[in-house]
Amino acid sequence: MADSVKINSKNCPMGKFTFAAITGKGILNDNNDDDVYEYKVTLELDEEDAGPLMDIIDDFVEDYAPSKKELSKVPYQTHDDYDGIPAGKVWVAAKAYTTWEDKKTGEIKDTVINVYDSQGDKVYLPEGTGIGNGSTGKLLGNMTMWERKKEYGVTIWLSGTQIADFIPYEFEEAVEAMEGGSFKGFNTPQLEKDEEPKDEEKPARRSRRDRSSSEDEEKPARRRRRG
């Protein structure tokens, strides 16, 4: 199994939080058969600024890619991957389960996503307040690789956020559940598109480097590679 890589304030560039849910019930993972809720953060970066972090992710893939399996997912996407992302921007995402099991006691505990200010000191969001879109900062976590029968991918497991400019999102007062009806809310935009082809029809994801090497040689590179 591949080693893990820390994503910290040194190797994560400053960006804008586009979707951030790190408290409360979290977001339902629609791809799981069980009712699994997760905390998620999506950080929007300028492509030039994102280059070094994308290199770290690509290096991790190249170093630990399992043989005879195809790359399915990495923690970043560009406009080429999903046209909902503005051209010239990169979305980097991290997630964490809202609960975890203490292996020693078997107790299920709530996950706490740490929040740090611009000076690196731990702070706490006010009750009923979240990180609003447009807030600037960095995501913190641990990057690991997962494998399935025919595919593999990389996930950043979220452990914290560091905020430089804070725009609060005020949660509305809770509303009561209603009996009957079928409305279950709206899909929250995530890194992957809501609808994907079935596994046998799903094309293998190519890394940014694979795509760059297959493009017309006369086309200028999106950004300069490291020497």
In a domain? residue 221: no
The tally of domains found in the chain comes to: 1
224 within some domain: no
Q: How far apart are CA 91 and CA 15, in angstroms?
A: 9
Q: Which of 137-146, 149-158, 191-200 has the lowest mean pLDDT?
A: 191-200
> Residue 224: what pLDDT?
44
How far, rounded to the nearest angstrom, does the alpha carbon of residue 37 sit from its chain's CA centroid? Answer: 14
pTM over 0.75: yes
Residue 189 has pLDDT above 60, yes or no: no
* More reliable by pLDDT, 188 or 86: 86
Q: Report the 3 state secondary structure along 79-121.
A: CCCCCCCCCCEEEEEEEEECEEECCCCCCEEECCCEEECCCCC
pLDDT more than 90, % of the chain: 63
96: closest CA among 155, 56, 148? 155
Cα–Cα–Cα angle for 106, 112, 116, nearest 5°? Answer: 150
Give me the pLDDT at residue 126, please: 86
pLDDT-based confidence at 25, cuts 50/70/90? confident
Q: Residue 203: what pLDDT?
A: 62
- In 3D space, the residue among 7, 97, 88, 107 whose CA is nearest the CA of residue 52 turns out to be 7
Tokens of 148: 């399935």
Averaged confidence pLDDT in the chain? 83
Residue 190 has pLDDT above 50, yes or no: no
Domain of 167? 5-214
Residue 227 belongs to some domain of the structure: no
End-to-end CA, the chain: 29
Cα 106 to Cα 109: distance, rounded to the nearest angstrom: 9
Query: How confident is the model at residue 97, as a pLDDT?
Result: 95
Q: How confident is the model at residue 226 (pLDDT cuts 50, 70, 90)?
A: very low
Q: Pick the more confident residue, 72 or 128.
A: 72
Q: Please answer whether residues 75 and 154 qualify as being in contact, where contact means their C-beta atoms are separated by less than 8 angstroms.
A: yes
**C-alpha distances out from residue 134 to 67, 82, 84, 131, Å:** 40, 20, 17, 9
**pLDDT digit string (tens) for 46-91?**
999 999 999 999 999 999 999 999 999 999 999 999 999 999 999 9
pLDDT of residue 152: 95
CATH code, 38: 2.40.50.140
Using one digit for the tens of pLDDT, what is the confidence trace for 98-121? 999 999 999 999 999 999 999 999
What local confidence, expressed as pLDDT, does residue 193 receive?
42
Tokens of 182: 């079928």
Structural Rg of the chain based on CA atoms: 19
Asked if residue 223 belongs to a domain, the reply is no
Using CA atoms, how far residue 22 sits from 57, 85, 89, 209, in Å, is 23, 22, 23, 32
Instruction: Specify the DSSP class assigned to residue 10.
Output: T
